[in-house]
Structure 1
Amino acid sequence: MALPSWLESLKAAQKTCILQDGRRKVHYLFSDGKEMAEEYDAKSHELLVRKWRQKSALGAYGQWQIEVGDPPLPVAGTIQSDFLKESSSNPTFTRKDTKSSFQWRIRNLPYAKEVYSVTVDKKDRCCIIRTTNKKYYKKFSIPDLDRCQLDLNENALSFAHANNTLIVTYQKPKEILSLEEELQRELKSLKTTNEGDVECKTQ
């Protein structure tokens, strides 16, 4: 799906918009049945959360898959054996974007910055994090670029390390920035309801 097609599919999706807890929450329902939910800071308009779900072959909705933002905390009362929990010292990988870049934070990585390398694999359309001490390896894609069929650019990639956290940054290409500006204009035209009101779908 090339960039214009992705933008058109966003515009064509059924959208619901609600203002809650200082966040603008937008729900998209696409013609193929997939759902996307986004949350933006109501003041800065920065994307805080993006998640997806779709129905199974039997028509039941699957779990939400987080693309941007922290995974949800376990719901109180759910059955979760303590011995099955991940160790709190394991590396955690989350994506938190800024207006100008895609950004990932990998916490619990105590090694010096010189240990890491972050590269682009154009053939597999992914970024790869490696450590010279063989303690950490991660491949990850950038779905935004895949949806718009944009090539990965090694020069857009950089990283920093502080407080046991590796921060990987990929500068958004101009095509993505233009798309996001257009989408923000589209979202501002939606009728937004406040918390407690009945949610209102697009006209």
Structure 2
Amino acid sequence: MAARGWLESLRGAKKTAVVQEGKRKVHYVFTDGAEMVEEYEISSDQLKVRKWKQKTTLGSPGQWQFEVGETYSRPAGTLEQQLIHESGSSPIFTRQDTKTCFQWRIRNIPYPKNVYTVTVDSDQRCCIVRTSNKKYYKKFNVADMDRCNLPLDSSALSFTHANNTLIITYQKPTAILQLEQEVQQELKKMKVAEDGDVQCKTQ
């Protein structure tokens, strides 16, 4: 889907918005029944959370899947399972963007920086993390780039490592920055409630 097509999809979705605890929370329902929730910091318009819920093949509501933000609040699994997952030593993969970059963090991954290789696979439209000691391998896509049908550029990709965390950064292209500005303009037109939902019907 091209950038313009994605923007029109957002405009055509049913939207409700609420301001809570310094964040603007927007709930989208798309024409295919998919739901998306985004949370932005009011002070900076920085996206903190984006999560999706798709209907299952049988038509029942699915579970929330995080695209941006921490997943520890996900409803899947028992409380005991969640606590075990979060307190374990297994690598934890999350996305936490900045205004100018897509950014991913892989925690609990202690190897020195020279062990890692992070590359772009243009054919598969994904980024790949490898370690020379063969202890870790991860493929992940850049959903925003996929939605806008933009090619991945290896020169936009970089990484660093500190405090047992690998930080992978992808510079947002101009098309994404422009799209995000337009989305913010649309969101600021919405009627917003304090700690309550307000339906915003698209015109």
TM-score interval for Structure 1 and Structure 2 normalised by the shorter chain: over 0.9
3-state SS of paired residue (1:56): coil
Residue 123 (structure 1) aligns with: 123
Structure 1 residues 51 and 74 mapped into 2: Cα distance closer, same or farther (>3 Å)? closer
The count of corresponding residues between Structure 1 and Structure 2 is 200
Residue 30 (structure 2) aligns with: 30
Residue 70 (structure 1) aligns with: 70
Q: Distance in 1 between matches of 2:120 and 2:66?
A: 22
Q: What letter matches 2:185 in structure 1?
A: R
Q: Is the 8 A contact 1:102 1:172 kept in 2?
A: yes
Structure 1 residues 98 and 198 mapped into 2: Cα distance closer, same or farther (>3 Å)? closer
In the alignment, does 2:47 pair up with 1:47?
yes
Once the 2 structures are TM-superposed, how far is the Cα of residue 54 of structure 1 from its aligned partner? 1.8
Once the 2 structures are TM-superposed, how far is the Cα of residue 85 of structure 1 from its aligned partner? 3.4
Q: Is the 8 A contact 1:120 1:154 kept in 2?
A: yes
Once the 2 structures are TM-superposed, how far is the Cα of residue 80 of structure 1 from its aligned partner? 5.0
In the alignment, does 2:157 pair up with 1:153?
no
In the alignment, does 2:143 pair up with 1:132?
no
Once the 2 structures are TM-superposed, how far is the Cα of residue 11 of structure 1 from its aligned partner? 1.0
Q: Distance in 2 between matches of 1:72 and 1:106?
A: 14
Residue 6 (structure 2) aligns with: 6
In the alignment, does 2:198 pair up with 1:199?
yes
Q: What letter matches 1:122 in structure 2?
A: S
3-state SS of paired residue (1:184): helix
Q: Distance in 2 between matches of 1:146 and 1:44?
A: 25
Which string of whole-angstrom CA distances, capped at 9 and with x for unpartnered residues, describes residues 35-68 of structure 1? Answer: 1100001111100000011222333211001100
Runs (5+) with no aligned partner, structure 2: none
Which string of whole-angstrom CA distances, capped at 9 and with x for unpartnered residues, describes residues 132-161 of structure 1? Answer: 111111000001000000000000000010
TM-score (norm 2): 0.93
3-state SS of paired residue (1:111): coil
3-state SS of paired residue (1:89): coil
Once the 2 structures are TM-superposed, how far is the Cα of residue 89 of structure 1 from its aligned partner? 0.8
Residue 172 (structure 1) aligns with: 172
Superposed CA RMSD in Å reads 1.9
**Identical amino acids, percent of aligned pairs:** 57
Q: Which aligned segments of 4 or more residues in structure 1 are displaced greater than 2 angstroms?
A: 56-59, 72-75, 78-82, 84-87, 197-203
TM-score (norm 1): 0.93
Structure 1 residues 72 and 193 mapped into 2: Cα distance closer, same or farther (>3 Å)? same
3-state SS of paired residue (1:85): helix
3-state SS of paired residue (2:177): helix
Once the 2 structures are TM-superposed, how far is the Cα of residue 79 of structure 1 from its aligned partner? 4.0
Structure 1 residues 24 and 81 mapped into 2: Cα distance closer, same or farther (>3 Å)? closer
Residue 56 (structure 2) aligns with: 56
Residue 105 (structure 1) aligns with: 105
Which string of whole-angstrom CA distances, capped at 9 and with x for unpartnered residues, describes residues 83-135 of structure 1? Answer: x9336111100000000000000001111111101000000000000111111
Runs (5+) with no aligned partner, structure 1: none
